[in-house]
Amino acid sequence: MRITEFQNIIVAAIHKALPNIKQCEIYDGQFDGEHGQRVAIHAPAVFVAARSTLAISDPGIAGQMDIKLELSAFIIAQYANDRIKREGGCMDLAESVALLIHNNNFNQAFVGEAKVKRMQSKTNAAVDSAGFAIWSVDWAQSIRIGSNPVHQFGTLQSVNVSRVPDVGGTAKGAYTPV
C-alpha cells in the first residue's frame, strides 16, 4: 500500500461517516490566517495529512516495510461573526473525527488500529480574524507499505463448488466451476 492510497481510504471513511462535511481531502501543508483566502476552503472541511514516518519492522518480503505513520486531520469551521459558535462547532467536529479514527484500521489488511494522541486547537489570531476555526486530530498508525502483500500468493485461477456434503478425495466429480 502507498501512503497516499491509505490517506484516500481515510478521506473516504470520514466523508462517508460525516456527510455534512463540504470538503474532505488529502492535504500536505499548514494553515494560517490567509490560507482560506489563498485556497478555496468550503467549511466545514477536513484535511488529512501524513506528518512523519518511522520504520518499525521488516516483514521479510522484498519491496515491503512496516512503518509507524503519524497523521493529522485538520478540521476547519467558519461562522461569520460568532467566535464561540465557530470554535465550539470546530471542536465538536474534531471530536467526531477522533472517535471515528481511534482504534480503526479502515478494514485494511496489514494496517494496525489507529491510536489518537491528541486533539488541539490550531486557531490563532490571524485564523480567527479570517473567520475560521481550526482544530487538529493527531494519531499514529502502523501500516505495511510497498507492493501488495496479497500478490505474493498469486492470483486465484478458479473456484469450484459442491453440494455434496462430504467433499474432497473421491468426490472430485461433484465439483462445479463457478
Domain ranges across the chain: 3-177
Residue pLDDT, tens place only, 113-164: 999 999 999 998 888 888 889 999 999 999 999 876 454 444 555 566 666 6
Domain 3-177 has CATH 3.60.9.10: no
Residue pLDDT, tens place only, 23-59: 999 987 665 545 444 567 889 999 999 988 888 877 7
DSSP character for 35?
H
